[in-house]
Copies of this chain bind each other. A is one copy, B any other.
Amino acid sequence: MTQSKNKKIKYTAFMVSSIDGLIARDSGSGIDWTSKEDSDFYHDKIKNMDVVVVGSNTYKVASGRSWKNAVVLTTKVKLPKKEGKIVFLNPDKTDLKKFLQIKKYKKVAIIGGGKVYNFCLKNKMIDELYLTIEPYVFTKGISMFSGNEFNKYRFELKSVKKLNRNTLLLHYNNLSVS
């Protein structure tokens, strides 16, 4: 029992959004609007994660300095392709969950963007979620989860913290996975 529990991967999503739940202006834009405190929190957490899972657009604009390993999800490869600490993987061709298990990763960070968050949520690969809310309203942009159908995933609020005067950090557990 303990052994099988120890083998289980823990998936943690890290997100930062506007008040209206948008994570970027468009798929090519970076996160120059987020606070230093969020960036500090993110890098501090990520350096303890075994691997990050990231989409190819987010990969292009993200800083990889705190990553031990990364899996970049892309449709541009058939077989997983390794380049240093980065593996490019096509989730339509290779089972991502199995890949992570074979690599014996325990702590997996899901860092976006919207399509990757949605893919992982759908495939029970988000156990917990850290959401930083920055004090902006964008009115149009990339949604947190780029879903193509309505769902109702239940979460449990674990904690709320102020990262600075105007920035909040929410921590949720996903109750839709067991």
Contact = CB atoms under 8 A, between A and B. Distances in A.
Interface in A107-144: 118, 121, 129, 131, 133, 135-141, 143-144
B25 A21 contact: no
B168 A19 contact: no
> Which secondary structure dominates where chain A touches chain B?
loop
A121 B139 contact: yes
26 contacts: A19-B144, A19-B155, A19-B172, A20-B21, A20-B145, A25-B150, A33-B152, A135-B154, A135-B156, A136-B152, A136-B153, A136-B154, A137-B151, A137-B155, A138-B145, A138-B150, A139-B146, A139-B147, A139-B149, A139-B150, A140-B147, A140-B150, A156-B165, A157-B162, A157-B166, A157-B167
Interface of A: 17-22, 25-26, 33, 118, 121, 129, 131, 133, 135-141, 143-157, 160, 162, 165-168, 170, 172
